[in-house]
Amino acid sequence: MTDFLITWLVPLTIILSIVLVSHRFLLNKLGVIQVYFLWLCVPLGLVLYSLPLPWVNNYQFADEKIQQFIVVPTQTIQQQFTIEWLIACWALISTLMLVYWLLSHIQFLRKTTLYKFEQDKLPVTLPAKLSVYQSAHAYSPMIIGVINQKLLLPEEFTALYNEEQQKLILEHEICHFDRNDIYWNLIAFSLLALFWFHPLVWLAYFRFRRDQEISCDHIVLARKQLASRINYSRALLVAAETSPPLAFAQLSFKKYGDKEIMFERIKHIKTLNKVSKTSVAFASLLSVTLLSGLSYAGNVGFDGNIEGDQVEKHRTPPKHKVSAKPIVRIEPKYPIKAAAEKIEGSVVLRFDIKKDGKVANVAVMNGIPAYVFDQVAVEALKQWKYDPHGQEHRNQLVQLDFRIDENSTFEDVNLIEKIKVTQ
């Protein structure tokens, strides 16, 4: 997981920087609805960056001796402790964020007593799969639930809002339901939990949620008269008077409803502009170009690894067959006990190379001393990646030599491939 995170850091930073820096400009030129859908570039960009392109490396491995190379890591035992502590810290905070979201949602549902609301009393027709309830614990209309979504109304809903406001508010919630925003929020929060250490991710998350609410406002008011917009703005101000804690998975009419954000929503309601087809075409071309560039960069650029290992830059392959070379090498962690006791040795591994360049079916053929370095060697080799070549290669061999330092006198045994690993 950690190697994926570091691999995604560069493309994620690029995407978020472009979207956040150009957000105001795109908002003026495209409108908030189109800008909201541009946030799809974030998950799509990460996926395309990770997927291999079948046409990028269209050459095969030669069935000959694999090239030999040496990696000399500089990591000390203290650095291993530091890296392991950082990984543990990241995992702990990510887990706490996810657990907090889950518990807050469960707690809200448990303390909320639901009462069935008669749909024929509503001024709009709800989707067939969306049932409506009332509760004293609801301070704003909201969509709750992940699997079985429900529309939850406050008990004073009909008293707080007039009939037109009720209609507009319900259309706002129906917009969330029809777009499956609750699932997009889960994806966004999952990325936030994984990259909690990245400040741009926090900025992007809250900007994404604002755009989500404002885009629903625009969809609801797209063909409404000025009087309806004013009436809707008054409903926003009424909703902003209360601010109870809400779970992350809820889609509320007043979500992120503090005064500053409510005023931003009202400001956008005042300036509902039509978007030209040229602007939409330009935005589409920009998105396709960005995603294509990320996809290509993910296949021919640098690949990340979890420990700052030496990574070879991929170059344009020759037209003839070449030897198999890994583009990502994750070096094994020298076992702390073995390093402290000055134990050296070697492990010979057998593995297969899949069509996408990933390593599979790793097995230990021999190890000296037995079982000392087997586990760390297998864990490291499983994370290697070779140039995608369109064909599977089976029964490949690699030898990992564990040495305390470069001047070790431990007897070397040359096999197909060799890497020296120091503590």
Hey, which of 186-195, 237-246, 274-283, 362-371 has the most confident mean pLDDT? 186-195
Q: Inform me whether the pLDDT recorded for 310 exceeds 80.
A: no
Mean pLDDT (whole number) for 352-370? 86
pLDDT at 242 over 60: no
Q: Is the pLDDT of residue 258 over 90?
A: no
Residue 415 has pLDDT above 80, yes or no: no
Pick the range with the lowest mean pLDDT from 200-209, 235-244, 340-349. 235-244
Q: Which pLDDT score is estimated for 319?
A: 40
Mean pLDDT over all residues of the chain?
A: 75
Q: What are phi and psi of 244, to 5 degrees?
A: -75, 155
Residue 55 scores a pLDDT above 50: no
Residue that wins the pLDDT comparison between 30 and 411: 30
CA distances from 197 to 94, 166, 191, 194, 209 (A): 10, 41, 11, 8, 19
| 3-state DSSP helix/strand/coil % of the chain, to nearest 5 | 50, 15, 40
- The highest-confidence range among 28-42, 175-189, 345-359, by mean pLDDT, is 175-189
pLDDT tens-digit series, residues 151-179 = 888 888 888 888 898 899 899 999 999 99
The partner residues of 397 in beta bridges, in order of sequence, read 350
Whether omega for the bond prior to residue 369 falls within 30 degrees of 0, making it cis, is yes
Q: Mean pLDDT across the stretch 250-265?
A: 55
For residue range 386-396, what is the model confidence (pLDDT) as tens digits?
876 667 888 88
pLDDT classification of 6: cutoffs 50, 70, 90? confident
pLDDT value of residue 200: 94
Is the Cβ–Cβ distance between 311 and 331 less than 8 Å? no
Residue 42 has pLDDT above 60, yes or no: yes
Q: Is the pLDDT of residue 245 over 50?
A: no
Which residue has better confidence, 181 or 277? 181
Between 376 and 272, residue with greater pLDDT: 376
Does the structure show a pLDDT above 80 at 60? no
Going by DSSP bridges, is the β-strand pair 150-154/131-135 parallel, antiparallel, or unpaired?
A: parallel
Taking residues 34-51, what's their average pLDDT?
Answer: 84
pLDDT higher for 64 or 379? 379
| Range of weakest confidence among 39-48, 247-256, 303-312, 316-325 | 303-312
Look at residue 305 and tell me whether its pLDDT is greater than 80: no
CATH number for the domain formed by residue range(s) 326-421: 3.30.2420.10
How far is Cα 189 from Cα 197, in angstroms, rounded to an integer? 13
**Dist. CA 277–CA 353, nearest whole Å:** 47
Tell me the C-alpha distance between 5 and 175, whole Å.
33
Lowest mean pLDDT among 42-46, 176-180, 189-193: 42-46
pLDDT tens-place string over residues 77-123 = 555 567 678 888 988 999 999 998 888 888 877 887 888 888 778 88
> In angstroms, what is the C-alpha Rg of the chain?
28
Q: Residue range 375-379: average pLDDT?
A: 88
Residues of the chain with CATH 3.30.2420.10: 326-421
- In this predicted structure, the answer to whether residue 312 has a pLDDT above a threshold of 70 is no
